[in-house]
A and B are shown apart, each in its own frame.
Chain A
């Protein structure tokens, strides 16, 4: 158990819908990362937040958005869903400071199926 929690574990929805994925980082970790993992694209970095502020952006679509709240939990919002958005979405957190630079602890993921 990494200490990172994600809800829900599974999500099935229809095209055009909007969903919210939730992540709680490990206690004390200030950084939260979101990744999308699919068979054809592999593991793709979406976005990172650090203590409530967006720090880095990857291959995140405009239909997707995220935020990190004052209690450090994070939400990833996916809207106007398409079949191709079906994937595993992972959240990861990392410790503050250089000793934890780049080291990430992953949650169990949310499997999104768009029908």
Chain B
């Protein structure tokens, strides 16, 4: 079965601290993976994508993600979180049937 799991419904980090958001996927072929961010009242914005090649991908706003095939994971990281990073983050898997499966999302809270 094809699925995306984001185990953490919400995470709170202090401003300036590092961040890691977890994403696990289930897919029988090479995955196309994405991270999107949604600020309150806004649409989703693409942060980064993985198609193939280097397992560490860089995105916008200082985010990066590491693809680990052995763990079926695509975790999102940021070395130092800013208050403006508070938002909801979605991991997504693009399948061969032209469908995109989104995880349930992780809401990030940033405390001063």
Partners in one complex: yes
1/0 per residue, CB under 8 A from B, across A97-115: the answer is: 0000111111111000000
Chain B interface size, as a band, is 20 to 34
Assess whether A104 is in contact with B90, with CB atoms less than 8 Å apart. Answer: no
1/0 per residue, CB under 8 A from A, across B13-34: the answer is: 0000000000000000000101
- Cα distance, A33 to B43, chains bound together (Å): 13
Assess whether B94 is in contact with A101, with CB atoms less than 8 Å apart. Answer: yes
Chain B binding surface, main DSSP class:
strand
A-B pair count, CB < 8 Å, reads 52
Q: Does A64 contact B (CB under 8 A)?
A: no
Assess whether B104 is in contact with A104, with CB atoms less than 8 Å apart. Answer: no
- Cα distance, A112 to B102, chains bound together (Å): 21
Task: List residues 42-65 of chain A with CB under 8 A from any CB of chain B.
Answer: 42-43, 45, 48, 50, 55-56, 58
Assess whether B44 is in contact with A55, with CB atoms less than 8 Å apart. Answer: no
- Among candidates A55, A103, A106, residue contacting B43 with C-beta atoms closer than 8 Å: A106
Nearest CB of A to B59, in Å: 12
Listed by A's residue number, 16 A-B pairs whose Cβ atoms lie within 8 Å are A2-B45, A4-B43, A33-B100, A42-B105, A43-B105, A45-B101, A48-B98, A50-B98, A56-B97, A58-B99, A92-B44, A101-B51, A102-B94, A104-B44, A106-B36, A107-B43
Contacts from B to A (Cβ < 8 Å):
32, 34, 36, 42-46, 49, 51, 90, 92, 94, 97-102, 104-105
Contacts from A to B (Cβ < 8 Å):
2, 4, 33, 42-43, 45, 48, 50, 55-56, 58, 90, 92, 101-109
